[in-house]
Amino acid sequence: MSSNLGNRLILFVATGAYSGYFPVFPGTVGTLVGIGIYLLIYTSNPLFYISILFCLFFFAVFISAKGEKILLENDSSHIVIDEIFGFLVAMAFVPNRFLYIVLGFFFFRLFDIIKIFPASYFDKKVKNGYGVVLDDLVAGVYTNLVLQGFRFIRF
């Protein structure tokens, strides 16, 4: 694969099918892409879903680091594979229902924006692909905890 084609493929994946180039709120648009991917990969088998998340974490870290090098920008707003991954974390073990998807979207975006510790630490102190992805992992975990709370109260 030629370097140019390889770079285009990396950017296609890193930017969530170029959704990260949306002129306003690219992370939000990337999260919408994450909803589509969630609907494609959703399974009621928790072991399979966790396996997907585990593999996707390392894939997202790798692609984010490559994307940063191509774009010559640390944690570029165009890179949204981290939002996609974070949303998938948010939806782990959550009922595949419209209400939970909508709540997951809004809480994930909230936690991704406000970056409650340790997300803020990862965002500011950790560089390369890990820094790009880890704050979204934390936002996804926080969102998942909120959604599990809604499940607990039978929302």
| Residues of the chain above pLDDT 90, percent | 92
Q: Which residues contact 29 (CB under 8 A, 6 or more apart)?
A: 16, 19, 20, 22, 80
Is pLDDT above 50 for 61? yes
The answer to whether the CB of 90 falls within 8 A of the CB of 107 is yes
pLDDT (average), residues 85-110: 97
Whole-number pLDDT of residue 155? 62
Domain boundaries, the chain: 3-152
Is pLDDT above 70 for 2? no
> Mean pLDDT over all residues of the chain?
95
User: What is the tens place of the pLDDT at every residue in 3-22?
Assistant: 799 999 999 999 999 999 99
110 residue type, one letter: L
Whole-number pLDDT of residue 7? 94
Is pLDDT above 90 for 43? no
Give me the residue label for tokens 């090098």. 69
DSSP state of 23: S
Taking residue 111's Cβ as centre, other Cβ atoms within 10 Å add up to 24
User: What is the tens place of the pLDDT at every residue in 70-81?
Assistant: 999 998 999 999
User: Has this prediction a pTM greater than 0.85?
Assistant: yes
Is pLDDT above 50 for 1? no
